[in-house]
Amino acid sequence: MKKHLTIALDAMGGDQAPAVVVHGAHLARERYPDVHFVFFGRSDDVQPLLDAAPLLKKVSRFVHTDDVVQAEDKPGKALRRSRQSSMALAIESVKAGECDVAVSAGNTGALMALAKFILRTLPSIDRPALASLLPTYKGECVMLDLGANVECDASNLVEFSVMGAAFARTVLGLQRPRVGLLNIGVEELKGNEEVKEAAEILRTSDLPMEFCGFIEGNMIGAGETDVVVTDGFTGNVALKAVEGTAQLIGRLVGDAFRSSWRARLGYLLARRGMNGLRDHLDPNHHNGAVMLGLNGLVVKSHGGATVEGYATAIGVAIDMAHHNLIHLITKDLGGVAMDRQESEPLTLETDKQAESKSA
């Protein structure tokens, strides 16, 4: 085992890159003094920032590249034309074993495509998934898939459960995370065939998790489980619906505090408590989505993350690398009571259907 972890940073990804990336790394260095960094990006943009942060520079290496993935680039274009981009080189450094994990705040679609192409899927995994942390009343939970797969079968949902639980063990520090399958009711008979079959497999498997069966959308915020598993379509819509509701209420609370002079004064008095609330819900404190199921670790930071948010994403990356998440996932999948031979034709048929549909 290596003495210290090395983090690859796509210095050019994100709305405020490269400043937020360098300053975020600087903040992370204070929290994790043993960690080293490799920055990938344009020399003219990044070097002056590193020069201004000598303590960070001492634990960092810099790799120049002119090529940058743009926010509006389609995944296909990134795969064809951006193989020398700061994003691709950061991922390549993980593949080569030079770095333990890569972090990028760039274009999500391009990052997922490049990561999948360069690192490849783990042999035991059918489909990688995008996972992230969400605030709940009790703290935080892991939710996946958040959009990597629009259609999922039962074995995909089982894999997501195993990967999500391993992620919760490394990042939330839980021994036996409580795992729930998102459904339209908690009764066994509810939902589509995929969730029912996945629940049956999870109930009979021997895994380092507490499988809680089905949960409904309102149980996410209440913190009823540590891991929330669903397909990428539902997960993406639900995550954004949650974010949209938080924004809606934030705007309404702001309007309410501005509605009169009494209310303005009330805000001044309640400000400290309100700031605590805002901090708990602030996406920057739960930053760091992860592409699970690949032969290497990649973390996606929000594009608009603050310095604090970027440092949080680096923290997630460090936790995963430190606890060797990939090893955990591979080991845990051995405990799944799933006949993989049997599930294969189903997957093939689904692919065929998709082909004939799109033809």
C-beta of 7 vs 134, nearer to its own copies: 134
- Contact flag: residue 268 with its own copies (CB under 8 A): yes
Rank residues 3 and 272 by Cβ distance to its own copies and give the closer one: 272
Q: How far is the CB of 116 from its own copies (least distance, A)?
A: 17
Residue the block writes with tokens 């995909």: 156
Which of 58, 218, 341, 342 is the binder for its own copies (CB under 8 A)?
A: 218
Site for its own copies in 168-187 (CB under 8 A): 182-184
Q: Which residue, 208 or 221, has its beta carbon nearer to its own copies?
A: 221
Instruction: Report the DSSP pairing between strands 289-292 and 298-300.
Output: antiparallel
Number of residues that bind its own copies (CB under 8 A): 65
Q: Where are the beta strands (DSSP E) in 260-357?
A: 289-292, 298-300
222 contributes a contact to its own copies by CB under 8 A: yes
- Neighbouring residues of 187: CB distance < 8 A, sequence distance ≥ 6: 214
Q: Does residue 236 bind its own copies (CB under 8 A)?
A: yes
Shorter beta-carbon distance to its own copies: residue 175 or 358? 358
Q: Is residue 255 involved in binding its own copies (CB under 8 A)? A: yes
- Tokens 């030079």 identify what position? 98
Candidate segments 24-32, 231-239, 311-319, 327-335, binder of its own copies by CB under 8 A: 231-239
Q: Single out the residue of 51, 269, 342, 355 in contact with its own copies (rule: CB under 8 A).
A: 269
The arrangement of strands across the sheet holding 210-215 comes to 60-64, 36-41, 6-10, 101-104, 298-300, 289-292, 129-135, 140-144, 227-229, 178-182, 210-215
Closer of 106 and 315 to its own copies (Cβ): 106
Quick note: the x/- pattern for its own copies over 126-165, rule CB under 8 A, is ---------xxx---------x--xx--------------
**Token pair belonging to 190:** 């509810």
In the structure encoding, which two tokens stand for residue 351, read together?
């692919």
> Up-side HSE of residue 99: CA atoms within 13 Å toward CB?
30
- The amino acid present at 228, given as its one-letter code, is V
Q: Does 203 bind its own copies (CB under 8 A)?
A: no
**What values do phi and psi take at 177, rounded to 5?**
-60, 145
**One-letter amino acid identity for 264?**
R
Nearest to 201 by CA among 215, 213, 183: 213
